[in-house]
A and B are shown apart, each in its own frame.
Chain A
Amino acid sequence: METIRIGAGAGMETDRLQPALDLIVKGNIDYIVFECLAERTISLAQLRKLEDPSKGYNTMLEYRLEKALPLAYQHNVKVITNMGAANVRAAAELAVKIAAKHQLPLKVAAVYGDDIFSRIDKYYECPLMEKPNLKLGDLKDYIVSANAYIGYEGIYEALENGADVVITGRSTDTALFMAPAIYRFGWRNSLDKTATCAIAGHLIECSAQVSGGYFAVPGKKEVPDLWNLGFPIAEINERGEVFITKLEEAGGCVTTATCKEQLLYEIHDPANYLTPDVIADCSKISFEEIAKDRVKVTGVTGKPKPDTLKVSVGYLDSYIATIEVSYGGWKCVERAELLVASVKKRVEAMYGESVQELRSDIMGINSLLPGRRPPCEQALSEVRARVSIRVKNKRIAEEIIYECGSNVLNGPGGGGGRVESVKRVVSVLSILIPGEDVNINVEYMEV
């Protein structure tokens, strides 16, 4: 029976590379997919592009392709990635340059269409999905990027035209994985098969999160050789059966438990998993461990795709000043609380009118889940105090650090490990636009 094996090469912007190279060499895979965009990644990439028009693609692109392309060519593995981020053309040109350097006769495809920033003013009247009482136009002075989540069509076309390397911007994570299977098996018109591919993609899009990462709890959920986690492979056959697996010699594990956790990761209604290509229904999904580290996925069905596309809009939001100091030994909690109270009072006194939001935490007690107190704080041997302050203006954030920092000299006794920082915040909100507003096109470059 004809099968296709798709390896996950990355699950985040800066994911490690070696497990991907291992899959290319030893995984008997047909495709390696580097999925490298989170909600905000492309907005930050857009800012890098504004500073330097030749940049704006993934910061690890060159590192990854330098090592991956020669191996991929040698093992007949095609590469699909959204590492184009905010500058797909520059990323594709770099891929061509790297291929040429290694004398690899590769055809590189650049998929365009997701970036709608140049016509964003057309949508100022659209309500923001997350804040329906506001319109996009309310952010207009601060918008830095606008990218529609596009589906698999452009990648499909690139594969149809013989591309060896396909580079996109903000395509959905799932589209990167769906395209090869739908292309190979001619499933464009099958909703159930398309949805099955979407879920196969969803299961491996976060790389090791389905093969033992983000999972281990010593004594309860053991993961073999966590230090050497292998990235996952989705094997899809012409009957539409999906198997999730990994390299036998790699660390980690693929079990029904790892698959179930990853299935529900970032999914809301399991009966309506929205993608631009299909609405997948996994409310009746099942997983079966048919061999060690080999899980069969069944029961996914599909419904027609939505009429709209989601657009992620990045905007310059604010600046966050953060102050941290650690305390240990006797009365460490009391001293951390004194630091927090002092910093808050000083910020309020000097910059109260500028502060949009302030949060304080005692790490070791309540920084992850505020409101809870441990039963015995006296037993804690160390804690870390943290105060973070949001202001609109960078200069004020820096001044807050100048005037309310230096808390080793000016704070409670025995404080150490001081960290003070100012962070620019680029936030993301979303709108929905008609699907027909986005035109996908593909450019080919050859070595």
Chain B
Amino acid sequence: MKLLEIAHSRTGDKGDISNISVIVYNMKDYELIADKITATRVKNFFKDIVHGDVLRYEIPSIGALNFVMHGALGGGVTRSLAIDPHGKTLSQFLLEIDV
């Protein structure tokens, strides 16, 4: 099963840090994503762009995880050479991960 079947996601940016939320549609799936979608997996998924640490915050009250990826935006939104310097498109890639 793909993560996109049970969760939705949004990317935000601050400087060279990208944060990606993963939020379950149905609270019964929270423990599954909390178990399967680890910071290590997310770091590995984005290994070609994330050069720093990936931290994971848990917000069980809303069935969500928040991944904070350091060194993820090509040196920072304001100077990145990327077509999408904010990394706004990244969340929808992560949803293709297998659960």
Contacts and interface: CB of A to CB of B under 8 A. Distances in A.
A260 B91 CA distance: 14
B89 to A, nearest CB: 5
A263 interface: yes
Interface in B26-71: 46-49, 55, 57, 59, 61-64, 66, 68
B49 A262 contact: no
Contact of A264 (B21, B61, B89): B21
Interface residues of A, number: 53
A389 B81 CA distance: 8
B82 interface: yes
A388 interface: yes
A260 B15 contact: no
A359 B21 CA distance: 27
Nearest to B14: A266
A217 B92 CA distance: 10
A283 B59 CA distance: 5
Given A261-B10, A266-B19, A267-B19, A283 B78 contact: no
B79 A386 contact: no
Among A287, A361, A368, A389, the one with the most B-chain Cβ atoms within 10 Å of its Cβ is: A368
A368 B93 contact: yes
A39 B64 CA distance: 26
B84 A368 contact: yes
A361 B64 CA distance: 33
Contact of A368 (B19, B57, B83): B83
B77 interface: yes
A267 B12 contact: yes
A217 B4 CA distance: 11
A425 B81 CA distance: 10
Contact of B66 (A268, A286, A368): A268
B17 A268 contact: yes
Interface in A358-377: 358-359, 361, 363, 367-372
A427 B79 contact: yes
A430 interface: yes
A51 B75 CA distance: 28
A367 B59 contact: no
A139 B48 CA distance: 29
A285 interface: yes
A320 B23 contact: no
A58 B13 CA distance: 22
Given A39-B78, A40-B78, A261 B21 contact: yes
B61 A299 contact: yes
A397 B97 CA distance: 39
A427 B55 CA distance: 25
Nearest to B21: A264
Contacts of B78: 39-40, 317, 425-428
Interface string A415-433: 0000000000111111000
Nearest to A314: B78
Contacts of A299: 61
Interface of B: 4, 8-10, 12-17, 19, 21, 23, 25, 46-49, 55, 57, 59, 61-64, 66, 68, 74-79, 81-84, 88-90, 92-93
23 contacts: A39-B15, A40-B78, A130-B76, A220-B4, A256-B62, A257-B8, A260-B62, A264-B64, A265-B12, A268-B17, A268-B55, A269-B57, A283-B59, A359-B74, A368-B83, A368-B90, A369-B48, A369-B49, A369-B90, A371-B47, A386-B83, A426-B78, A427-B78
Interface of A: 39-40, 130, 214-215, 217, 220-221, 256-257, 260-271, 282-287, 299, 317-318, 320, 357-359, 361, 363, 367-372, 386, 388-390, 425-430
**3 tightest A-B CB contacts, nearest first:** A371-B48, A266-B12, A264-B21
Given A39-B77, A363-B83, A386-B83, 9 more contacts: A39-B78, A215-B10, A257-B25, A268-B57, A270-B66, A282-B59, A283-B59, A287-B62, A368-B84
